[in-house]
């Protein structure tokens, strides 16, 4: 994975939103609202990294050369459960996009991932895939999800991993295993603590977003 394959979105609005969602005293409703705004920015930037088709449109006064994105060539896949929150942002921006689900859970004692379930569109191998998961910690879950996509014929170069918070350890693990996968993130944190949690992080994203703390 080269530096060009790791993109940190350049939005100044993210700092304010991160301040809200990192604060442990932020109530669930406010966390959900701020996280949804942040993930919408992230989803827009991720979509912008996909292949586009040049088009010419006409304004009321002149022609304009722009680009178009077709949902027919894309698939959005979430790593359940936290990834579902980001998946819904992508689906709002790309109505009608085909979707898939992968369930991977991390053993809190060993920090190792375990695959439980995957459901993907039958033609996923022919699509560009946005893989959604808010946190990239050890990289184990993301790598296992990409392995699942590979087993369905998806080429790593056609996968964009979209996440809210990454850390150097997770990015290195991804780069070592899948250098062709592009990562679009809103922030790169300091690293992992002894329990393999991101520091400073924001706690368990899924629990806070879905109010199951």
3 labelled catalytic: no
| Sequence-separated (6 or more) residues with CB below 8 Å from residue 123 | 98
106 labelled catalytic: yes
Buried b (16+ CB within 10 A) or exposed e, 62-74: eeeeeeebebeeb
Pairing of β 113-119 and β 98-106: antiparallel
Q: Which of 110, 123, 180, 212 is catalytic?
A: 110
110 labelled catalytic: yes
Q: Which of 72, 107, 176, 207 is catalytic?
A: 207
Tokens of 47: 């979509």
138 labelled catalytic: no
Q: Which of 22, 37, 81, 106 is catalytic?
A: 106
CA atoms within 13 A on the CB side of 62: 3
- Which residues belong to the active site? 106, 110, 204, 207
């Amino acid at each position: 994975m080269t530096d060009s394959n790791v993109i940190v979105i350049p939005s100044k609005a993210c700092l304010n939103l991160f301040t809200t969602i990192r604060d442990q005293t932020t109530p669930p409703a406010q966390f959900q609202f701020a996280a949804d705004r942040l993930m919408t920015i992230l989803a827009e930037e991720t979509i912008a990294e996909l292949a586009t088709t040049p088009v010419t449109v006409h304004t009321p006064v002149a022609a304009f050369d722009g680009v178009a994105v077709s949902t027919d060539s894309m698939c959005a896949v979430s790593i359940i459960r936290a990834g579902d929150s980001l998946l819904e942002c992508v689906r709002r921006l790309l109505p009608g996009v085909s979707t898939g689900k992968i369930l991977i859970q991390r053993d809190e004692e060993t920090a190792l991932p375990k695959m439980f379930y995957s459901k993907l569109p039958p033609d996923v191998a022919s699509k560009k895939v946005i893989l959604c998961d808010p946190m990239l910690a050890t990289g184990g879950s993301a790598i296992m999800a990409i392995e699942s996509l590979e087993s369905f014929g998806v080429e790593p170069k056609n996968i964009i991993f979209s996440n809210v918070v990454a850390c150097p350890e997770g990015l290195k693990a991804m780069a070592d295993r899948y250098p062709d996968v592009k990562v679009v993130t809103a922030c790169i944190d300091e690293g992992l603590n002894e329990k393999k949690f991101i520091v400073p992080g924001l706690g368990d994203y899924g629990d806070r977003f879905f109010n199951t703390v």
